[in-house]
């Protein structure tokens, strides 16, 4: 296994995306509290860590925690909207701190669409500047894109733009919108797409990248919408390789440990030949219609072999003998996991608390809520309810919760 974990460094942001699933909370991190999470990943033998948010570059100690994680042997990645990364000095600081890879989130190369999705003007120009600053600093680049109702029709147009103007970007990631949390849950009508809305443009985009020799991944999209590129599904790759994922959320969820990748299925999925390697439909907010799912009758072994034989991901590991179809069938093949939500399992005493609530964190949270309420009124994007649940004591150390989802 080559597991990669996530740490939410902050939960506030300088943008106001209408589909944000991880909005601001009163929880905060400092270097000491993040360091113990890094140590936990090292002790578990993880390959790498992704520093995310909110917008992680807003944390003043981001370079310090990146340097610590890199020094402990982890492959360090950062997911960012690119606003601070566009500063060449900051891009160099991340590179010097040992960051190996940055994921810059860009949803549309049409400025008016990107501004609408971001809740702020000028964001596209800034993000494109981040691609250049990061490249000049020697950072490896990915472009991340959340699939939503406003960009569903032109995912391939985005790719054509990047191939023409930013050819140094060699890897792309699409995440289908999660309609079940935060601001995304209360704005489903504005931003949640139908699966059919993006099927053709996603296929054209994947085909363009495949022909160009670039790599890509797709998350939260069922395999019946992946056509010839089922091997690029994040969930399918984790199912095939038997990987887990730990996410340290900077909110009441705390640490979530994912070891099962099946989500929601339709009745017809039971006869689908991809059923045992498909993550299904990621939808806890009833934002999608399971009737859009349809069985596929293609031999799944070709998908498995493509994943086992793919050495393009730096996290790939294992001896060649372990990467054969026969070895995989002996270790992983079996009946499909039951449909429905994964069970909650007892607390793992090995996991550590995530962040804390301080008086300063409360003040920052209250300030961000006021600012975002004003943005909500101007933009027509509904602000998520205040579900912080912050206890009255200051400097409250949170309890650990472990789930499998």
Residue 213 has what pLDDT? 95
Element (H, E) at 143: strand 140-147
Q: Does residue 390 sit in helix, strand or coil?
A: coil
Exposure b/e, 19-56, CB count within 10 A at least 16 = b: bbbbbbbbbbbeeebbbebbebbeeeebbbbbbbbbbb
Helix 234-241 to helix 301-308 angle, to the nearest 10 degrees? 80
| Residue 113 exposed, middle or buried by CB count within 10 Å (0-12, 13-18, 19+) | middle
Name the nearest CA neighbour of 33 among 68, 76, 3. 68
Q: Which pLDDT does position 397 carry in this prediction?
A: 43
CB 400 within 8 A of CB 347: yes
Let me know the angle formed at the C-alpha of 364 by 129 and 133, rounded to the nearest 5 degrees: 10
Do β-strands 27-28 and 356-357 pair in parallel, antiparallel, or remain unpaired?
antiparallel
172 contacts 312 by C-beta, under 8 angstroms: no
* Residue reference for tokens 């400092």: 30
Half-sphere exposure of 46 (CA within 13 A, CB side): 27
Report the distance separating Cα 78 and Cα 94, nearest Å: 9
To which residue do tokens 């690119």 refer?
82
Give me the residue label for tokens 């080559």.
Answer: 2
CA dihedral 46, 8, 130, 148 (to 10 degrees): 100
56 Cβ contact partners less than 8 Å away, ≥ 6 residues apart = 8, 9, 10, 62, 78, 79, 80
The domains found in the chain, sorted by start residue, are: 4-261 (3.20.20.70)
Distance CA 234, CA 247 (A): 15
| Alpha carbons 289 and 45: distance in angstroms, whole number | 39
DSSP state of 249: -
Q: How far apart are CA 245 and CA 352, in angstroms?
A: 15
Q: How many CB atoms lie within 10 A of CB 220?
A: 21
Got the DSSP string for 280-303? -B--SSS-S-GGG-----S-THHH
The token pair that represents 120 in the structure block: 């702020």
Pairing status of strand 140-147 against strand 215-219: unpaired
- Give 76's Cβ-side CA count (13 Å radius): 21
Supply the pLDDT for residue 324: 79
Taking the C-alpha atoms of residue 269 and residue 224, their distance in angstroms, rounded to an integer, is 10
In whole angstroms, what is the distance from residue 98 CA to residue 102 CA? Answer: 11
Per-residue confidence (pLDDT) for residue 117, from 0 to 100: 97
User: What pairs with residue 171 in β-bridges?
Assistant: 142, 215
Q: Is cis: bond before 54, omega within 30 of 0? A: yes
Full pLDDT tens readout for the chain, 405 residues: 579 999 999 999 999 999 999 999 999 999 999 999 999 999 999 999 999 999 999 999 999 999 999 999 999 999 999 999 999 999 999 999 999 999 999 999 999 999 999 999 999 999 999 999 999 999 999 999 999 999 999 999 999 999 999 999 999 999 999 998 899 999 999 999 999 999 999 999 999 999 999 999 999 999 999 989 999 999 999 999 888 999 999 999 899 888 888 888 999 999 999 999 999 998 877 899 999 999 999 999 999 999 988 877 655 554 444 667 777 777 765 544 444 444 433 345 556 678 889 999 999 999 999 999 999 999 999 999 997 655 444 444 443 433 333
> Would you state the pLDDT for residue 339?
45
- CA dist 145 and 299 (Å) reads 30
- 121 CB neighbour count, 10 Å cutoff: 12
Are residues 209 and 253 in contact, defined by beta-carbon separation less than 8 angstroms? no
């Amino acid at each position: 296994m080559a597991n990669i974990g996530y740490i939410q460094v902050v939960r506030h942001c300088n943008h106001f995306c209408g589909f944000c699933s991880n909005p601001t909370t009163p929880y905060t991190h400092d270097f000491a509290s993040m360091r113990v999470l890094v140590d936990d990943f090292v002790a578990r033998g993880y390959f790498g860590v992704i520093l995310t948010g909110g917008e992680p570059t807003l944390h003043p100690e981001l370079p310090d925690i990146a340097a610590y994680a890199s020094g402990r042997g982890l492959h360090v990645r950062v997911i960012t909207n690119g606003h601070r990364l566009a500063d060449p000095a900051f891009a160099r600081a991340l590179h010097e701190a040992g960051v190996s890879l940055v994921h810059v989130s860009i949803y549309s190369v049409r400025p008016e669409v990107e501004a609408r999705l971001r809740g702020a003007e000028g964001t596209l120009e800034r993000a494109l500047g981040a691609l250049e600053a990061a490249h000049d600093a020697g950072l490896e680049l990915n472009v991340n894109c959340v699939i939503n109702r406003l960009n569903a029709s032109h995912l391939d147009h985005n790719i054509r733009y990047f191939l023409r103007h930013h050819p140094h970007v060699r890897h792309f990631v699409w995440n289908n919108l999660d309609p079940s949390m935060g601001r995304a849950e209360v704005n489903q009508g504005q931003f949640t797409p139908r699966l059919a809305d993006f099927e053709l443009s996603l296929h054209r985009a994947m085909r363009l990248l495949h022909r160009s020799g670039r790599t890509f991944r797709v998350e939260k999209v069922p395999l019946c919408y992946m056509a010839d590129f089922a091997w690029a599904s994040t969930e399918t790759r984790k199912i095939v390789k038997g990987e887990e994922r730990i996410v340290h959320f900077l909110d009441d969820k705390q640490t979530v440990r994912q070891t099962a990748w099946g989500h929601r299925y339709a009745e017809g999925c039971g006869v689908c030949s991809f059923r045992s390697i498909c993550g299904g439909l990621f939808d806890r907010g009833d934002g999608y219609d399971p009737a859009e799912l349809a069985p596929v009758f293609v031999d799944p072994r070709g998908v498995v072999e493509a994943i086992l034989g793919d050495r393009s991901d730096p996290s790939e590991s294992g001896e060649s003998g372990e990467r054969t179809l026969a070895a995989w069938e002996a270790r992983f093949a079996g009946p499909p996991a039951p449909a429905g939500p994964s069970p909650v399992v007892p607390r793992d005493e090995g996991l550590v608390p995530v962040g804390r609530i301080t008086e300063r964190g409360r003040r920052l949270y209250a300030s961000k809520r006021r600012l975002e309420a004003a943005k909500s009124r101007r933009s027509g994007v509904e602000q998520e309810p205040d579900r912080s649940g912050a206890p009255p004591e200051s400097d409250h150390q949170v309890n650990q919760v472990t789930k499998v989802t």
